[in-house]
A and B are shown apart, each in its own frame.
Chain A
Amino acid sequence: MRFTIQKAVSHPGIFTQRIRRQWSRDVTIILFLLPSVALFFLFVVYPVIQAAHYSVYRWNGLGSLADYIGFKNYQALFQDPIFLQAIKNNILIAVLSLLLQLPAALLLALLINRKMPGRTFFRTVFFLPYVLAPVVTGLIWSFIYNPSNGLVADLLRQFNPGATPPAFLADTRTVLYAIFVAICWQYFGFHFVLYVAGLQNIPAELIEAARIDGASSRQATFYVTLPLLGSTIRLSVFLSILGSLQYFDLIYVMSNGGPVNASETMATYQINYGLQRFALGYGSAVGVIMFVLCFAFALLYQRVIMRQDLSGRPAL
C-alpha cells in the first residue's frame, strides 16, 4: 500500500491517468445507460406508479386530479358482478390452458422428439400461429365461427342440413370456450417450442441407459424424460398463467367482452369501463389489481415452485 502511494506520488502521471480512466469509465456508464433507463422509467415504471395514484381518485382523464375518494374505486370494483365475472373468466382461461393447452403441447413435443419424416415442417407449422397478430387470429376465428358462412356452421350443415347453425360467439354459454379454442390455436405453439428446446437439452444417453436397464419407452418417458423436463414445465405453467391474466386483443376482436359481458376479462373491462366511459381512476384501479395479482402470483410461484430452478440467479 505504502509502496503504491509512494509510486503514485513519485509518478504523478500515472495518478492523473488513473483518475482520468476512472472518470472516463463513469462517463461511459452514465452515457450508455441513461437513454435506456430514462425510456424504461418514463414508459414502464412511471405509468405503473401513476396507476396506483390515479386509482384513488374519481377522474375523467381531463382536468386536474381533485376528487380524492380513497379506496372507493376498489370497493365499487369488487361489488360489480361484471368485474367479478371478468376475474372468473381470466381464471377459467388459465385453468383450461393448464388442463388442455399445455398437456397437448407437451404431448406433441414428446411425439416429435424422435426421428421421423417432416419434423421440421411440423415444428414450423405448429409455431406459425404464434407470430400472427392476435387481432388477425381473432378475425380469422370470427370468420370460422360465423353462423352464415363460417367453417363450423358449414360442417354442421353437412351432418344436419336444415338446422339453424349455432352462433358460438353470440351465445353467453359458449362464447368463452369458443375464444379459448382460438387462444389454444394461437399460443400452444409457444409452449410446444419451449418443451422441444427443453427436450433437446436432455442427453440422449440417459434415455438409452434407462432403456438398456429394461425400461419400456413409456417408463423412460415418465421416469426419466418428464422429471428432467421439470424446470421447463414449471416455466411454461408460469408464463401461461401470467399470460392468461392479460388477454385483450383476441377477445376485443372476437366478442369485445360480450354478449352481455359473458367473455369480459380484466383487460377488456379496463378499456370498456375505464377508458371508454371516461373513468380513468376506476380503470386504473383495474390495472392496479391486475398488477398486484400478477406480482403476487409471480413472487409466490418463483419462491415456492420454481425455487430449485432459480438458484444462482438473483431472486426478484
Chain B
Amino acid sequence: MQVAIKRQWSWLPAFAVCCVVATIILIPLIATFSGGLRTNGELLTAPFSIPRTLHWENFGRVLAAGSPFWGEIINSLLTVVGTVALLLTVACPAAFVLARISFRGREVIFNFFLFGLLFPLTVAVLPLYITIRSLGLLDSLWGIILPQVAFALPTTILILRNFFRAIPIELEDAATIDGASRPVFFWRVLLPLARPAMSVVSILAVVSSWNNFLLPLLVLTDQSQWTLPLGATQFQQQYATDWASVLAFITLAMLPAILIYLIAERQIVAGLTAGAVKG
C-alpha cells in the first residue's frame, strides 16, 4: 500500500523542477506583456506588481495609423511569403531529382548542399552584402528573400529528399506504366503525397525568415523596407525612455511567432530535430 502511494507520487519532484523552469521561462514574457500595459511611471516604481489599470494606450500608440509598425509587419509578411514560395518552387524539384533519379555526380551535388549546414550566414556576410549590392538588390526585399532561400536549401532538400526516398518504387512503376513521364509523376503523384514534409520545411522557413536580423540590417537601409526585427531595435533606440511603448511593440512583434509555434509546434520540432540529426 505504502509502496503504491510512493510510486503514485514519485513524479512530484520532477514536476516541481519543471514548474520552476517553466516559471523562469515565462516570467520574462509575462513581464514584457504586462509592462506594455503600464505607464512609464508605474514601470519605475513597481514594474512587476499586478497592474491595477490596464493601459492599452501603449498598444494603441504602436498600432496607430502612421506608426512604422504596419509597414514593417507587411514587409516581414511579404518576405516570409516570398521566401517560402520560392523555396518550395526550387527545392522540391531538386530534392526529387536527388532522391529518385540515379545519375553520376548525384552524391557530389547532395554533399555540396549538405556542406551548407555547417555555415550559417554570419561567416560570409560581408561578401554576401557585396554580392547583393552588385545585383542591385540593396533596399529591396528580394535582397533578403533570395539569400534566405539559398541558406534554407540544405535543410529543406535534406528533409524533402528523405521523404521522397521513402515513397515506394512500385508507385513510380505504376505511374510509368500508365504513361506518366517523370515530371508528371513528380507533379501529380509525389507532390500531393509530400504535403506533410512540405509543411514542415515551410514552417521552418517561416520562422527563420520572420526572425532574421543580420541580413536585413545590412541590406535594408531605407526605413520603408524595414522588417519587424529591424523596426523593433530601431523603436527601442528611438524611444529609449518610453519603455512601456517599447514593451508593447516587442509584445506585438513576438505574438505572430508565438501563435505560429502554438499552431505548428509538432512540425517545427520534427523539422528541427530531423534537420539536425541527419545533418
Which A positions have Cβ atoms within 8 angstroms of B? 24-26, 28-29, 31-33, 35-37, 39-40, 42-48, 50-51, 53-54, 61, 108, 111-112, 114-118, 121-122, 124-129, 131-136, 139-144, 146, 148-151, 154, 185, 189-190, 193-194, 197, 232, 235, 239, 242, 246, 248-249, 252-253, 267, 270-271, 274-275, 280, 283-284, 287, 290-291, 294-295, 298, 314, 316
Contact = CB atoms under 8 A, between A and B. Distances in A.
Contacts of B91: 36
Contacts, number: 269
Interface-centre pick from B35, B43, B123 (highest chain A CB count, 10 A): B123
A47 B128 contact: yes
A133 B211 contact: yes
A289 to B, nearest CB: 10
Give the secondary structure class of A's interface: helix
Given A39-B146, A126-B25, 7 more contacts: A50-B124, A111-B18, A133-B211, A136-B250, A136-B257, A142-B236, A284-B127
A28 B243 CA distance: 56
Interface-centre pick from B43, B124, B228 (highest chain A CB count, 10 A): B124
Contact of A140 (B32, B109, B262): B32
B257 A44 contact: no
A78 B244 CA distance: 44
B258 A131 contact: yes
A197 B276 CA distance: 11
Interface of B: 11, 14-15, 17-18, 21-22, 24-29, 31-32, 35, 40, 43-44, 46-48, 89-91, 93-94, 96-98, 101, 103, 107, 109, 111-116, 118-120, 122-131, 146-147, 149-151, 153, 157, 181-183, 186, 207, 210-214, 217-218, 228-229, 232-233, 236, 243, 246-247, 250, 253-254, 257-258, 260-262, 265, 268-269, 272-273, 276-277
B123 A290 contact: yes
B257 A267 contact: no
A43 B126 contact: no
Nearest to A121: B22
Contacts of B269: 127, 193, 197
Nearest to A117: B15
B265 A115 contact: no
Given A135-B233, A140-B28, A114 B14 contact: yes
Contacts of A128: 25, 29, 258, 261
